A = this chain, B = another copy of it.
Amino acid sequence: MAHNPTMKDVAREAGVALRTVSRFVNGETNIKPELADRIAQAISTLGYRRNLAAASIRPGWTSKTLGLIISDLANPYYSALTSAIESYARERGYVVISSSSDEIGAQHDRLVDRLMEKRVDALIVVPPRDPGRDWALVPPPIPPLVFLDRPANFDGADVIIADNTGGARDATSEHISHGARRIAFVGDSLSIFTMRERHAGYLSALSDAGIIPDDDLIVNSAHTSEDAANAVMELLKASKVDAIFAANNRGSVGALLAFKQAGRRVPLIGFDDFEAAQLSTPETSIVRQDVVEMGRKAAEIVFDRLAGNSSPPQTYVLPATLVLRGSELP
């Protein structure tokens, strides 16, 4: 691998001063055409490429890089968020370093440090379930910071979340409107923010209808589709369930698996769309969060902050809308 030619090399080759090459490279116009030609020539023969890393350390210059920390890129939900952010950033000439915390606080913290050391211009973060270090302990300056999908206990950052509570309430109310009284909640641990919110929405809908929640109908240990399937099988066996609200798409898939295995279904509404939803019979109704919009909004806020907007940080709650496809019916 040959040596990497520098501006100095170009200047020597073209027989001009370093400064002139810099001007040329930065697209300044006041250069005698003849010199410009010589420089262009030199750049091409030498195969010069400017070193953005070197440029970025000058005061007032930036890396044109966004740092993104999500929980798991292999999860379609987070890769959709990442994709939306990356494409918004790319249009503005920024690149994105995306990394996964795997929900582990220490790993998240290490990534934060790393990205700040790399001097990313801004940080978009999905706070990990396992909390990690308090943001108040991170020494300033902290670049523009946006919490995505979940809030965190720090008031220097904007927050973008979906209306988890409202969506869950709507789904549960829909079940109730069809006469269901014994509605199961099938989800993951309540240590997860979104689960707590959805659980709250579920309870609130029950309460509005004067239904007293039954602990036997609440599953919050379904980490995988298989877990959810097993739980739903139990519920079906006891045959005391009128309808199911699946609080995430693993829950929805689990319910479908259980229906298939049991040869019997009950009304189902899930949270979050999933690929198989339209292949099931009946098609599966869900609460949809606009993932692309969430990512886009996060990027938008970041660039707004980068542009100098220093108004107090805000929390943006994006709508979660009920999409009925048939599975809500008895």
Q: Which residues of A contact B (CB under 8 A)?
A: 1-4, 44, 46-54, 56-57, 63, 65, 72-74, 76, 79-80, 82-84, 86-87, 90, 95-100, 111, 113-119, 139-143, 253, 256-257, 260, 274-276, 278-281
A198 → B minimal CB distance (Å): 21
| Nearest-CB residue, chain B, relative to A256 | B279
Contact A73 B86 (CB under 8 A): yes
Pick 8 A–B contacts, CB within 8 A, sort by A. A2-B141, A49-B139, A52-B117, A53-B119, A73-B83, A74-B80, A257-B278, A257-B279
Known: A49-B139, A57-B53, A281-B260. A99 touches B86 (CB 8 A): yes
A232 → B minimal CB distance (Å): 13
Residues of B near A63 (CB, < 8 A) are 53
Residues of B near A117 (CB, < 8 A) are 49-52
Q: A51-B57, A87-B100, A96-B97 are in contact. List 16 more A-B contacts (CB 8 A).
A: A2-B140, A44-B139, A48-B139, A53-B53, A53-B57, A53-B119, A72-B83, A74-B84, A76-B76, A76-B79, A86-B100, A90-B100, A253-B275, A275-B276, A276-B279, A279-B279
| Nearest-CB residue, chain B, relative to A73 | B83
Contact B96 A99 (CB under 8 A): yes
Contact A97 B274 (CB under 8 A): no
- Cα–Cα distance between A88 and B115 once the two chains are bound (Å): 17
Residues of B near A276 (CB, < 8 A) are 275-276, 279
- Cα–Cα distance between A175 and B65 once the two chains are bound (Å): 50
Contact B279 A52 (CB under 8 A): no
Residues of B near A275 (CB, < 8 A) are 253, 274-276
| Nearest-CB residue, chain B, relative to A140 | B2
Which single member of B48, B54, B73, B95 contacts A57 (CB below 8 Å)? B54
Residues of B near A79 (CB, < 8 A) are 73-74, 76, 79, 82-83
Residues of B near A84 (CB, < 8 A) are 74
Contact B95 A95 (CB under 8 A): no
| Nearest-CB residue, chain B, relative to A76 | B76
Residues of B near A87 (CB, < 8 A) are 100
A273 → B minimal CB distance (Å): 11
Contact B86 A47 (CB under 8 A): no
- Cα–Cα distance between A141 and B56 once the two chains are bound (Å): 21
A48, A80, A82, most chain B CB atoms within 10 A: A82
Residues of B near A2 (CB, < 8 A) are 140-141
